Structure 1
Amino acid sequence: MTKRIFISTVFMLLTSNLMAQNCDCLDNFNFMVNKVSKNYAGYNDKINLNNKRAFSQLTNNLLSRSKKTTNIDSCYVLLRTWTNYFKDHHLRIQLDWRYREKYPNKLSQLNKQIPKFKNLPPPAKDTLAKEASLKQLNDKTLLIALPSFEWDEKKKIDSIIKKNQVLLSKTPYWIIDLRGNMGGNDLTYSPIIPYLYTNSIAIFPSEYWASEDNIKNYEQQLKDKSVDDEAKKYIADAVALMKKNIGSFINPGGKDTIYVKLDSIYEYPKKVAFLIDRNTASSAESLLLTAKQSKKVTIFGENSYGMLDYANSQYFDIFCTEYNLIIPISRSKRLPRNPIDNIGIKPDILIDNNEKQKINLIRLQLEK
C-alpha cells in the first residue's frame, strides 16, 4: 500500500512538472482566458452587451496568432495585449522574476510592443526616496517618505513610528511623500492612521467573487503559518460564504459602508500634507481615501495613478514557468458610483509637474 502511494505521488509530481514546463502559447492563452473569465472580479463589469462583439473579435484574433507563436517573449506580448483590454493594472500576465533577472533589458523592450490603455507623459524628474524614512526639516515640520507599502516595508514603517514617537507627538506639521508609491498592502500604513484621525472614517469594503479557484487559493492561505490569526479568521469566514454563493459576490463584513471611530484625537500633528504624483497607486490611494476625510489633511501634487477598484490580487499557476498570472478577486463597494481606476484621486492643491522645490513649497504653505 505504501509503495503504491509513493508511485502515485511521483507520477503526480512528474505530470505537474511537465505541465509547468508547457510553454506552448496556445495552451497558455486558453488557460489565461479560462482563469480570468471564471475568477476576475471585474470580468462581468467590463464585458457587456456594448463591447462583447469587439472583445470576442480581439480574443479570436489573438487566439489565432497564439497558434503560430513559439517564442516566450512574443507570447508574453500577446497575452499581455489581451489582459490590457480590461484596463486594470491589477490584472496581468507578467514575466517571472527569474526570467527578468536573467534578461534584465527585455522587459522594457517588450512593454513598448504592448498596446497601452493609459498614456501618461513621463513623471517629473524628481529625486524620489528609495526607502521609508523620517527627516526633521526644522523644529516645526517633519518629512516622512513612504515610497512603498509592500509587506516587507511594514517593519521599517513600524520601527520609524516607534523610534520617533516623541518627535511625532510634538511636531505640528508633517509632509508625507507618497510619490512613486505603487502600493502593496493596506496594513503596512496602519500606524499612520491614528495621527491623522479627527472624525469618524467611512470605509467602503471589498466584496469577493466566489469561484472554485478563488476558494482554493484562500484555503491554501489558511495553511500558511506566516498568516496571523486575525487574517485567518477573516479568510475562513470569506471561504465559508464563498462556498454557499458560487458564481456571485460575497461581502464578509456584511455592510456597504463601515464607519471607524477611534478613542482619541492626537493634538499633533496639527496639519498633514500628502505629496502625490501620477505613480501613487493602489494601497497608497487607499490611504489617500482615508486621509482625505481628516480635517488635518491637505493633498498636494497631481492626480494619482488610478488603480484601486479591483484588488486582492491572487497568483494563479500557469503552464509556462516564465509567466505569472495575477487576477484581482475583489471589487470595491464604491462601485459603480465612485470609480478610481484610470482616473485617480485629485489633489486639493495642484503643483506643476516641473516645479523643482515641491517639498519646500508645501512646507512654506503649512507654516504660514
Structure 2
Amino acid sequence: MKRLLTFLSLAIANLSFGQNCNCDSLFLQTQKIVEDNYAGWFDKVTTSNQTAYNEWTVKHYSLSKKINTDSSCAKQIQEWITFFKDKHLRIKYNKPKEFSDNKTEPKNFQILTTNLTQSQINNYYSKAKKLDLIEGIYESSSYKLGITQVKPNLFYATIINTENENWKVGEVKLVIKKIGTKYEGAFYEGDKSDISTHKVQVVDNILDFDIVFYEKTFPIVKTKRDITEYEMSKDRYAPSLTFKNDVAIWRFPSFENNTYEQIAYLLKKYKDKLEATPYWILDMSNNSGGDYSIGLQLLEYIYTNPIIFYNAEMRLTKSNFDIWYKSYISTYYESLDSAGKNKLDVRFNKMKANYDKMYNEDGKPTDTLKMEKAKPFPKKIALLINENTISSGELFTMVARQSNKVVVVGVNSGGMMDYGNVVHYKTACSTFRLQLPTNRQLWLDTGFSVDKEGIRPDIYLKGSDWTEQAIKIIKK
C-alpha cells in the first residue's frame, strides 16, 4: 500500500528534527513515526480508506501551520491521531517548567559522607543519654541505614549496607531536619541524579519518608506494624482484600508499581482463609492497566479448564526494538551473568533478523494453559468491569472469564487492548513525546476486537452498589 505521496512526504525528508520545533514540523515528525512504526498501521490505513487518510492528514497539517503555542499544537496533533481510533496511540505533552529567580536547573547537590561503620553507630547509640525518636537502625530491601544526630535538630542516615551499586557504605542516603516536634527530610535518588524534600514521620516501627518506607530494627519498639501493609495503606494503586462473611472481595486499581509483590503478600498471608471462602469478587473497575501477568497470580484459584492465551506480533522496526530494549530490557540484561546474556543475545539476534516485518516470536497465534486440577474454592467468582477498565485490566478479564467459575458483570470496558507493548518516542521538542504501541494482538485475525466497543459483561449492572449486586448474582 502506498503512503501519502504529497508535499508532506517530501517535506519529511528535508526536516532537521533537532532544530525545528514549529508545530508543522512536529506534525510531520509525528506522522513519519506513526507510519513507520505503529503496530496498527496496516489495519488502520488500507486501500479502502487511503484517500480519506490522505485528506485527513493534509487538512490537519494545514491547521498545524497556523498554530504557535505548544499546548494547542499537542491538541492539534492528537486530533490527527484520532483517525486511528487507538487510545494507546497518543501525544504526551508536558507543560514547560517555570523557574523563578530562586530555582536553578540542574540541581546542584553533593553526596555527603560520615564514613561511620555499624560498630561506630552502635557505639554512638550506647553512649547517648537519650535518643531522638528518629534515631535508630532502619532497613529496606535495598538499604540498611543508621540515623544519628550530627548537630541539634539535624540527622544523617548513614548507609551501613546496600544492594545499590551506585551507593557506598558510609555515604548519607537521607538528611532529616527536626522542626519543633515534626520532621522533614531530603531524599537522594538511587542513581544520585536528583534530590527531593518530603515530610517525614516515625509511625511505631516504620520510618515514613513519604515516597519510601524503612523498618526500624533498633531500638525495638513496643508496637510493630507490617511494613507491606503500611505501604499498601499509603498507595492508592495498591490492591486490597477484605472478607464479608463467606465472600472475599479483591480490588485492583492497577497492575503497576508494586502490585505484584503486594498481591503475592496478600495471597500468602490469607492463604488458608482464601481457600475456605466459597465466593470471590474481583473488582477490576477503574483498573488502569499495567502488566496483566500480575493478576495471573490468582489463576490457580480461578482455573477450571484449559485457558487460551492469544499471542501478539511486533512491528519490528529498528527504532521500535531500540526503544523497547532501552525502556524495558537493558537494566535486566546488564544484571545477568554471561550465560544469561548469551541466551538473550540469541533471542535478540533472531529479532533483528526480522526488522521491518510483523514478527510473532512465538510462531503461533495461541498458547494453551492446562493445570492438573481446579481448586474447590472459590466456587463462584464475580469479576467487575466498567468503562475505566482498560489495557491489561481487559486482558486479564479475557483470560479469567474462560473459567467456568467466573461471571463478568458491570458495563462495557474501555476498549484499549488490540495494540500494546507501548514505547515512547522523543520528538524535536522536549515537551512532546509520542506514545506508540508496537504490538498487534493476533485475536484481530479472528475478527474479534477489544477496542471497538470494549469487553461486554455477561450481566449488565445499574446503580451504584455493584459489589452487593455481584454477591447476589454469584450466590443464586
In the superposition, the TM-score normalised over structure 2's length comes to 0.63
Give the equivalent residue in structure 1 for 2:197: none
Q: Which has the higher helix share?
A: 1
- Look up the equivalent residue of 2:410 and give its one-letter code: G
Give the equivalent residue in structure 1 for 2:111: none
Give the equivalent residue in structure 1 for 2:465: 357
Give the equivalent residue in structure 1 for 2:432: 323
1:61-210 maps to which residues of 2 (within 5 A)? 61-96=59-94, 131-138=238-245, 140-210=246-316
Distance 1:234 1:133, change over 3 A: farther
Q: Deviations over 1:163-215 (max 9, x none)?
A: 22122111110001111112111222121111101111111101111212112
Q: Is the 8 A contact 2:88 2:435 kept in 1?
A: yes
Q: Deviations over 1:96-124 (max 9, x none)?
A: 3x65999xxxxxxxxxxxxxxxxxxxxxx
Give the equivalent residue in structure 1 for 2:212: none
- Residue among 339, 344, 368 paired with 1:259: 368
Q: Secondary structure at the match of 1:280?
A: coil
Structure 2 residue 52 is the aligned partner of structure 1 residue 54: yes
Q: Is the 8 A contact 2:425 2:435 kept in 1?
A: yes
Distance 1:324 1:153, change over 3 A: farther
Q: Deviations over 1:249-283 (max 9, x none)?
A: 11111111101112332221111110111111110
Give the equivalent residue in structure 2 for 1:123: none
Aligned-pair identity in percent equals 32
- Look up the equivalent residue of 2:273 and give its one-letter code: L
Give the equivalent residue in structure 2 for 1:343: 453
| Distance in 1 (alpha carbons) for counterparts of 2:342 and 2:423 | 18
| Distance in 1 (alpha carbons) for counterparts of 2:428 and 2:351 | 26
Q: Is the 8 A contact 2:238 2:258 kept in 1?
A: no
Q: Is the 8 A contact 2:324 2:423 kept in 1?
A: no
Which of the two has higher C-alpha Rg? 2
**Superposition misfits of 4+ residues, deviation over 6 angstroms:** 18-21, 226-229, 231-235
Task: Return the offset for 1:41.
Answer: 0.7
Q: Is the 8 A contact 2:237 2:259 kept in 1?
A: no
Q: Is the 8 A contact 2:92 2:434 kept in 1?
A: yes
Give the equivalent residue in structure 2 for 1:112: none
Distance 1:300 1:226, change over 3 A: farther
Task: Return the offset for 1:330.
Answer: 0.8
Task: Return the offset for 1:225.
Answer: 3.5
Q: Which has the higher contact order (CA 8 A, sep 6+)?
A: 1
Give the equivalent residue in structure 1 for 2:392: 283
Distance 1:225 1:99, change over 3 A: farther
- Look up the equivalent residue of 2:449 and give its one-letter code: P
In the superposition, the TM-score normalised over structure 1's length comes to 0.80
Q: Is the 8 A contact 1:207 1:333 kept in 2?
A: yes
User: Gaps spanning 5+ residues in structure 2: where?
Assistant: 1-15, 100-235
| Distance in 2 (alpha carbons) for counterparts of 1:314 and 1:270 | 40
User: Gaps spanning 5+ residues in structure 1: where?
Assistant: 1-17, 103-128
- Residue among 234, 242, 258 paired with 2:351: 242
Task: State the Cα RMSD in Å.
Answer: 2.7
Structure 2 residue 318 is the aligned partner of structure 1 residue 212: yes
Which has the larger displacement, 292-301 or 256-265? 256-265
Q: Secondary structure at the match of 1:144?
A: strand
| Distance in 1 (alpha carbons) for counterparts of 2:293 and 2:366 | 19
Distance 1:339 1:100, change over 3 A: farther
| Distance in 2 (alpha carbons) for counterparts of 1:206 and 1:233 | 24
Q: Is the 8 A contact 1:305 1:342 kept in 2?
A: no
| Distance in 2 (alpha carbons) for counterparts of 1:246 and 1:289 | 30
Give the equivalent residue in structure 2 for 1:306: 415
Q: Is the 8 A contact 1:66 1:75 kept in 2?
A: yes
| Distance in 2 (alpha carbons) for counterparts of 1:342 and 1:213 | 28
| Distance in 2 (alpha carbons) for counterparts of 1:339 and 1:94 | 25
Distance 1:242 1:287, change over 3 A: same
Q: Is the 8 A contact 1:136 1:143 kept in 2?
A: yes
- Look up the equivalent residue of 2:243 and give its one-letter code: Q
Distance 1:208 1:233, change over 3 A: farther
Q: Which has the higher strand share?
A: 2
Q: Secondary structure at the match of 1:340?
A: coil
- Residue among 32, 35, 44 paired with 1:34: 32
Task: Return the offset for 1:364.
Answer: 2.1
Which has the larger displacement, 170-179 or 217-226? 217-226
Task: Return the offset for 1:22.
Answer: 5.3
